[in-house]
Chain A
Amino acid sequence: MHFDKALSATIEALPYMLGGVGWTAVILLGALLVGFALGVPLACAQVYGRPLLRRVVGLYVWLFRGVPILVQLFLFYFGLLPLVGIDSALAAGVIVLGLTSASYQSQIVRGSIRSLAEGQLKAARALGMSDFTAIRTIILPQALRLSIPGWSNEFSILLKDSALLMVISVPEIMARTRSVAGRTHEPVAMALFAAILYFILTYIGIQLLRWIERKVRIKGYSQEGAM
């Protein structure tokens, strides 16, 4: 075994790989945000909307949880997006991951909303609040806090799925791993390097979410959301 060659190849590739981390981070954040911005309204629609609306959301969730991400990437990047003039691989990646994440995030938030005690909304309505205000100021603040563990999971999944963007040539970690490994003939070292990078990112993400959880914690609020 030639550890020296592997080691020097790794060190040489360091800056290039770290550049990949930057791209991965952008993809991840973009997807999470899109997923959040879309997922929360979808969740509210599913819990409080009219039957037709609920059906539509259900259909959306079924579609984006049923079609593999890889298929979506090719479909959007090579097929659908060019029809509307978008040719950026990064955009395609963020859109696909974001739309899929929205379907999962909507289920997380939906579960949190449903776990809240019924009386919360009743009390809000009794005070004369409109449903919209009640949801915004009473339900969501609680439901979103309850959803943090679910997001921790979602973050981890998105981080791993971001590696799929290599197939549409987004220069994130995995894409760069493959190209460096090809150049230096050190696939073992590069693969291990990539694994370590993903581990570190996962760790950072978990710590970040824990920090957020601490920041928004309400004293004495039980995790079950009961009154």
Chain B
Amino acid sequence: MSANDVILRIDRLNKSFGTNHVLKDATLELRRGELKVLIGPSGGGKSTLLQCMNFLLPPDSGRIWLDGNEIKFKNKRELYAYRQAVGMIFQDFNLFDHLSAMENVRIALTKVKGIPKKAATERAMAELERVGMAGKAALYPAQLSGGQKQRVSVARALAMDPKVLLLDEPTSALDPELIGEVLTVIKDLAKSGMTMVMATHQITFSAQLASEFIFMEQGCIIEHDTPAVLLAESANSRTKDFCAKINELGESA
């Protein structure tokens, strides 16, 4: 398998809520090691797209392939296995409130993957170490700051050895001074070659790391290309317009 293999492919995903057609014919390809960033105004469909990609929201139509195999989502076994391979980071962290940080990372290992407790604990601690939270392993979500909670949720997702990581506005719910610690973790992940799709408003940060920007508005993918092309001096892209507006409001790097 070459480094340029397509790991995840989605074809014409559609999703409507009632009469509201939120996601229209979304299509994209993801190669190993790529980081594709979803950009655009709120309500544009970024979050819906991500949640359709791991079937948290079942799409009304469209197909998904992982490593060349089309996923038959009707089959529960296949669905659960697929979700183990495609991890997700939420805007609201969604840590399990009744479990400590370490237990949060460990629970899917023991209950979903069936790994024995001792090995699972070691793996959980290793992942927490990776995101810099090993010292707080015994603390509960109620005792952690937003940035710390998000880092634990990254560890939890990574422990499953996902092939792809979906990040749904990972820093949007954080106080400004806590954003940095999470961005550092994401940067390390990108550098280590993790394949990711991320929705975010952190333009400057993403521009350095992203293989491709995907601009979404009103459910459609309007344009997609490398950040360099879309944000070039001479470019006349919607992306550039949008980013300019965000910068006016003082986006932090």
**A–B contact via C-beta, under 8 angstroms:** no
